[in-house]
Amino acid sequence: MGKKTFTLTVDDTKAVCAIGEMAGRRSIDEKKIPVISCEGACIRGEIARLAAHLVAREDPYRRSCHGEMFTAPHSAIAQWMHEAEKVVVIDGCFMKCHGRILRNLIDEEKLLQFDALSIYRKYTDLMSIDDVPEEERKATAREVADKILDRIRQGKSGLTAGRPSVKNEEESACSPS
């Protein structure tokens, strides 16, 4: 039996973000690699988001907007993510929400997908961002970003493999999906 999918309908818009258009065009011209992340309301999404900001500070990476990518297919941000050599996605947990969406929007071989929780596993039983002090959130995000950058730099096998396998919370740390 083939994979099951579902459709999410989004109202079309011709609107684009002026800053996103400038950033998208600049990133295309400079051949930057987009980084997007989980933006979930829990501590896992917050750490993925913070880690994405840290990864995007390194060259050749830049932060991208998943909102435009997912809902404004004619925008410069979407064009950048389609044309980029690679796209880094940092998911907050084993559900890999953003990675599952991106596999249907860009070529899978371009996707470098990471489950931030698999790197640290410390907050599997917490929901609220406020349950973790800010300095600890930042330190954990730095750990996640450093491990992701290290894995990419090492060119470990599997980083650019096709469809990521569905993994669960019991798998080893920093497994690129």
Q: What is the pLDDT of residues 42-82, one digit of tens each?
A: 999 999 999 999 999 999 999 999 899 999 999 999 999 99
Q: What is the pLDDT of residues 100-140, one digit of tens each?
A: 999 889 998 999 999 999 888 888 889 999 999 999 999 99
In the chain, where the domains are located: 20-154
| In the predicted structure, residue 169 carries a pLDDT above the cut 80 | no
Position 141 scores a pLDDT of 96
CATH code matching the domain that covers 20-154, chosen among 3.30.1490, 1.10.10, 3.40.50, 1.10.150: 3.40.50
Share of the chain above pLDDT 90, in %: 59
Question: Across the chain, where does the E strand assignment appear?
Answer: 33-37, 61-63, 87-91, 111-115
Average pLDDT of the chain to the nearest whole number: 86
Task: Say if residues 43 and 137 touch (Cβ distance below 8 Å).
Answer: yes
Question: DSSP class of residue 131?
Answer: G
Position 3 scores a pLDDT of 80
